[in-house]
Amino acid sequence: MSRSYGLMWSKEKALEFLKVWLPDNIPEEVRDDEFCDEYQRTVNRVEYEFERNLPCKPRLQKGAKHIWDCGWCGSVIVSGENANYCNACGHPILWDEIRTLTGVKEGATKEVD
Ligand SMILES: [Zn+2]
């Protein structure tokens, strides 16, 4: 059973509200250093959580075998081309081409030197 969160904006609109509208409407007497620090930490967390859920491209390690690293955390993707998510961080993996052990299309991935 999923939880109902009520009406919500898109990620872009929510970030715009948080970063553009809100700072202009916070009274000056509230904006001390502690408040500004907490506000920035909140913005950082929201941006991080939004980005964390976006699929990332895997990175290929050069070598005799094809070993893929998570494009988010850098951990080896243990299940290789069969993985839809990183085993370490749970980030969705975005494969550009048909998953194969034979090679990588140009521009499909960023190779690790
Ligand atoms: Zn990862």
- Nearest one of 70, 54, 52, 79 to 112, comparing CA atoms: 70
The pair of structure tokens assigned to 22 is 């809100």
Q: How far is the CA of 106 from the centre of ligand 1 (A)?
A: 23
Q: How far is the CA of 62 from the centre of ligand 1 (A)?
A: 18
pTM for this prediction? 0.59
Per-residue pLDDT of 45-95, as tens digits, reads 999 988 888 888 898 888 777 789 999 999 999 888 888 999 998 889 988
Residue ranges per domain, the chain? 11-52, 55-113
Q: How far is the CA of 53 from the centre of ligand 1 (A)?
A: 11
Per-residue pLDDT of 27-57, as tens digits, reads 999 999 999 999 999 999 999 988 888 888 8
DSSP-derived 3-state class of residue 9: coil
CB neighbours of 12 closer than 8 A, spacing ≥ 6?
Answer: none
Q: How far is the CA of 13 from the centre of ligand 1 (A)?
A: 27
Q: How far is the CA of 54 from the centre of ligand 1 (A)?
A: 12
